[in-house]
Structure 1
Amino acid sequence: MTDSPQTADAYDLPHGRPPEGNNFAAIRAVTGFQLNRLMTKPRIAMGLVGALFPAAVMFAVIRTAPINRDMTVAMIYALIPEALCVLGLLVTMCPVVADELERGTWIHVTVRPGGRQSLLLGTFAAAVIWTGGVSLVSLMLTLLIAQPTQPIGLVVMFTVLIGISCIGRAALFAVPAVILPKRALIASVGVALVVEYFAGLLPAVVNQVTVSLRLRSLLVEWMAWRKDLPIEMTLFVDDYSAPVQIAAVCILVCILLTTAGFILNRRQFPPSVEN
């Protein structure tokens, strides 16, 4: 008796490699599924609260005392690309494996050709889209309250910074999410604090592999602040041009996602963990 064509095809394929042409379809399917899960009422309410927080802080500050445009930009940068994006990605990217283990669906992911890679990249895309959307809503609300001069330029600049922050940090959080799925949130918070905020502020070679350095450098360049920076502050930004900074983030994202995918393809969970 021979196996059915469907069964034979599924298991004869190399592990983790779906047929060519099905890669993007599988990733799109996972992305759509994860976005549908993120569009529930509790998640939408959580996103609205997160979007309102920077606007509320800005409102409280400008009611206390007027602030100039540069201070407004610095506050928006700290509140949205650095804070809100990280918080959103902690919620959306960290459960990439843990959710499947808790629901008992991990086995269905592993037996599908390319299932692990599709899960990782689809969840990555959904986390970036959801967090980026919440951050853009927050940006518009905050700018509406602050009412700085030349708002269109700020919208364009912060949209790019939000996109870079979401893509870079989502790839960063993917690594602890596949190494320690049951403790992914705690591990990712530790990674954010140690790598992004501690190492990113060290005037040493180690800060070259952080997203925060690239974001600060882009902000300083696009706001033309470099010539006005104190000497000691120049240690915390990079002198390279904006295209180089963006290319560095893209390379870092590729390395992190490749590492996460390599680890995920070799992870095995005993039945006690899957249950």
Structure 2
Amino acid sequence: MINSPQIAPSRDQLQNHPSEDNRLAAIRAVTGFQLSRLLTRPRLAMGLAGAIFPAAVMFAVTRTASIDRNMTVVMIYALIPEALCVLGLLVTMCPVVADELERGTWIHIAVRPGGRQNLLLGTFAAAVLWTAAVSFTALMLTLLVAQPTQPIGLIVMFSVLIGLSCVGRAALFALPAVILPKRALIASVGVALIVEYFAGLLPAVVNQITVSLRLRSLLVEWMEWRQEMPIEMTLFVDDYSAPVQVIAVCILVFVLLATAIFILNHRQFPPSVEN
């Protein structure tokens, strides 16, 4: 029996289907490049200002009145996972496509195999790392000012909340960044206000797809506040356990990133936009 000849894949086929190792290397390269841009003096100064702001607010509050541990936790939650993380991601995630269009490098990324999704995922990783680092620094400074009891437990809890807030909101801001790259910042602010803060506080099904609901539910469960909450306040938290809340955030991140990648892979920008 004559063996049928095996046709080797052509060079074009290999380029159109990059290996997983090459794809991961490309994502790491984009992440490293974006982090190097975030480690410039202006960005570091901005990050330092963001890290100091929650501690300054806490210092001003504690000087005027004494607050208990629960109020300290509520303030830290509002200032860092809900405010600082969102602001940091608005600065780092929104320009993912707009920067390439302004520099005229989008065409080089678009023609590379997997270039678009590598750009998005690499920028996503860099935005999460940079924002999480700034937020964790802010957490340590704020705890140093507030001096609450049992600080180790608060560090662990808020570290998880910061991580979930960063990955969830970065994935959320990826959508306006690829749909409206030139107005991504304005669109992302609108998404944050309408989806996260308005819809997230509605006692309806729509708040199930928000990161803010999951973070609030985790905070209430880990602080053991559920039994002490007024009955009307229970409408703003979810009854499921902490692992379910974490899994829900992971599913939401996967869906948002997959949608953003699909849109970006099929998005074409006219020459007037690219220039």
* TM bin (shorter chain): over 0.9
Q: What TM-score does the superposition give when structure 2 sets the normalisation length?
A: 0.95
Amino-acid identity (%): 81
Q: Which amino acid aligns with 2:244?
A: V
- The structure-2 alpha-carbon separation of the partners of 1:107 and 1:152, relative to structure 1 and needing over 3 Å to count, comes to same
Q: Which amino acid aligns with 1:86?
A: V
Q: Which amino acid aligns with 2:25?
A: A
Tell whether 2:50 aligns with 1:46.
no
Return 5+ residue gaps in structure 1 as ranges: 1-7
Q: How far off its partner does 1:20 sit?
A: 3.0
C-alpha distance in 2 between matches for 1:244 and 1:228: 22
Q: Which amino acid aligns with 1:34?
A: Q
C-alpha distance in 2 between matches for 1:12 and 1:107: 20
Return 5+ residue gaps in structure 2 as ranges: 1-9
* Aligned pairs (5 A) from 1:6-85: 9=11, 11-13=12-14, 17-85=17-85
C-alpha distance in 2 between matches for 1:27 and 1:229: 44
Superposed CA RMSD in Å reads: 1.0
Equivalent residues of 1:13, 1:113 under 8 A apart: no
Equivalent residues of 1:85, 1:162 under 8 A apart: yes
Q: Which amino acid aligns with 2:242?
A: A
> Residues 100-135 of structure 1, C-alpha deviation per residue, up to 9 Å, x if partnerless?
000000011011110001000000000000000000
> Residues 216-272 of structure 1, C-alpha deviation per residue, up to 9 Å, x if partnerless?
000000000000000000000000000000000000000000000000000111111
> Residues 89-110 of structure 1, C-alpha deviation per residue, up to 9 Å, x if partnerless?
0000000000000000001101
Equivalent residues of 1:86, 1:166 under 8 A apart: yes
* 2:243 corresponds to: 243
Q: Which amino acid aligns with 1:206?
A: V
> Residues 129-155 of structure 1, C-alpha deviation per residue, up to 9 Å, x if partnerless?
000000000000000000000000000
Q: How far off its partner does 1:75 sit?
A: 0.1
* 2:151 corresponds to: 151
* 2:170 corresponds to: 170
SS in 1 for 2:31: helix
C-alpha distance in 2 between matches for 1:162 and 1:271: 39
Structure 1 outlier segments of 4+, above 3 Å:
11-15
Q: Which amino acid aligns with 1:112?
A: R
* 1:160 corresponds to: 160
Q: What TM-score does the superposition give when structure 1 sets the normalisation length?
A: 0.95
Say how many residue pairs are matched.
266
C-alpha distance in 2 between matches for 1:20 and 1:49: 39
* 1:137 corresponds to: 137
C-alpha distance in 2 between matches for 1:119 and 1:250: 21
C-alpha distance in 2 between matches for 1:190 and 1:163: 22
